Structure 1
């Protein structure tokens, strides 16, 4: 089995805590180059992983022989850098949200198709054990008809996680495009599509900036969603859950209710209408609270997709559909005027 030559573009927190260590732990990978416009950040990562440091991604793509690239940059750079890497002949794993518009997402998908390269979007929620078990139970018909859901993803905000703290690009509209919805909500949109195996046809959003004084993007958002078969529910994304992170999802069905990441001890609880309760211990969800050194399985899946020449689970089309839920929420707020 050949070793993949990898470059990571953007050496902030998501690269430092997820991409780089997970590549390092994959025996089929060699980290060849890293890039960050902050030279100190690039040099630090290069020294740690014995890679070559760059401050310009264009130079990296031109000078290095690379099989695949992780794009770990501010949201507004996801599309242009991913497209440049695809056009340079690299497979691309891009952080979420994949782009800032449908047009950008389409351009990324076309670049991957034209160059016959893999494009994967880093939606890690699909790989969480409780989420995979819940999908299995739903597909087996354990819940019967699904009526409703509620899902939430919230923490105290990027200042506790981002490499630049309170000065982070996450708070700047020209770089982030959207706030908590892009950081957290799009993950849950992707998860719901995965669990329910349905697309959302109606989306309404309530989007506020109420918790962060230094932000011109949303920090609290609640979406009301309706699927093609009439399943209705809510999705909340927040940077104002200051006491404890919440990453829970509840699915309400005809025969049972599934509680995902909602119990302190059990990652999945199935409550049946006949009174039976089943507790599953499946391992916890990755969390920013614990320093984040858990394996998300995103990198391993990306690497396997390349080596096995298989379409990744979250390809460009899937990433676009999850992005479209968030874009529809923004559009719904403009219709109210």
Structure 2
């Protein structure tokens, strides 16, 4: 079986706790090189892996033996690095949000098409067992007609796990572009559209900074969403949920309700109107902590798409649609009105 040579660009927490360990655990990948603007961080990571260390990603991309890269940098560099990597002949796994604008996302997709290489966006919540099962139940009609939903993702903030703590780029608009909505909300934007099988087309939102001081991005957001099929629900993202994280989703349907990731034992509970309840123990949802959590599934899926020359499970178009909801929420909050998402993005 083919072995894929990998370069990891960005050696912060998401690389150290997710991408790198999962590449190491995958029998079909080997990490050839790493890159980080902080020289010591790059060298330390490389020494652990027996890989080459770079501080300039352009130099890493010149290595023709590297077949694929993970882009694990601050948000504002996602698009440019991904585009450069694609044109350098590398397959790309890019962290979310894929870009800071619809135009950047489109340019990434064009680069994928022109280069003939693969672009996958690391929306890991699609691979969570409870979410996979819930999508199956919804698609099979177990809930009948879906009426509404609510999905949330909140914790105490990236200072609790980011490699730079309170000095993290997550808090600086020029590097992050957006705060809790880009860190957490985009996960749920992708998830709810994945679960329901239809895009969000209208958004109304309050996107605020009311919990943390001395930051230039949002830390609390509440959004009202409407899908193309007329389903309505809420999405919330927060860096002010303490002391416990909330990563739950509830789907309300004609024949019952699904509760996802709101019970420590049963990751999915289905309550049906006929009085029947089914509780699933499918394993816990992954976190960014280095605490032995289950694999996110992202690296394995990306690798499989390369080895088998198959379509990636989370495409650039998927990433762009998840980003569109976030951009619409920002626009709605700024304008004080509902915002529509059309074919060309936010209107």
The TM-score normalised by the length of structure 2 is 0.95
CA separation in 1, counterparts of 2:264 and 2:182?
27
Aligned residues: CA RMSD: 1.1
CA contact (8 A) 2:17 2:290 kept: no
SS in 2 for 1:106: helix
SS in 2 for 1:275: coil
Q: How far does residue 315 in structure 1 lie from its aligned partner after superposition? A: 0.8
CA separation in 1, counterparts of 2:72 and 2:195?
26
Deviations 1:275-325 (A, max 9, x none): 111100011101246736431010000000111111111110110011001
Q: How far does residue 64 in structure 1 lie from its aligned partner after superposition? A: 4.7
Question: Structure 1 residue 8 and structure 2 residue 8: aligned?
Answer: yes
Structure 1, unaligned runs of 5 or more: none
CA separation in 2, counterparts of 1:244 and 1:292?
19
CA separation in 2, counterparts of 1:162 and 1:206?
26
SS in 1 for 2:153: strand
Deviations 1:164-202 (A, max 9, x none): 000000000000000000000000010001000011111
User: Which residue of the partner structure matches residue 104 of structure 1?
Assistant: 104
Structure 2, unaligned runs of 5 or more: 338-347
CA separation in 1, counterparts of 2:39 and 2:96?
24
Q: How far does residue 30 in structure 1 lie from its aligned partner after superposition? A: 1.0
CA contact (8 A) 2:172 2:215 kept: yes
User: Which residue of the partner structure matches residue 298 of structure 1?
Assistant: 298
CA contact (8 A) 1:286 1:292 kept: no
Deviations 1:197-221 (A, max 9, x none): 0111110110110111121100000
Q: How far does residue 68 in structure 1 lie from its aligned partner after superposition? A: 0.1
CA separation in 2, counterparts of 1:262 and 1:270?
12
User: Which residue of the partner structure matches residue 317 of structure 1?
Assistant: 317
Between the two proteins, the alignment pairs up a number of residues equal to: 337
SS in 2 for 1:21: helix
Q: How far does residue 331 in structure 1 lie from its aligned partner after superposition? A: 1.1
CA contact (8 A) 2:121 2:314 kept: yes
Question: Structure 1 residue 32 and structure 2 residue 71: aligned?
Answer: no
Deviations 1:222-259 (A, max 9, x none): 11000111110000000001210110000000001000
**Over 4 Å off, 4+ runs:** none
User: Which residue of the partner structure matches residue 123 of structure 1?
Assistant: 123
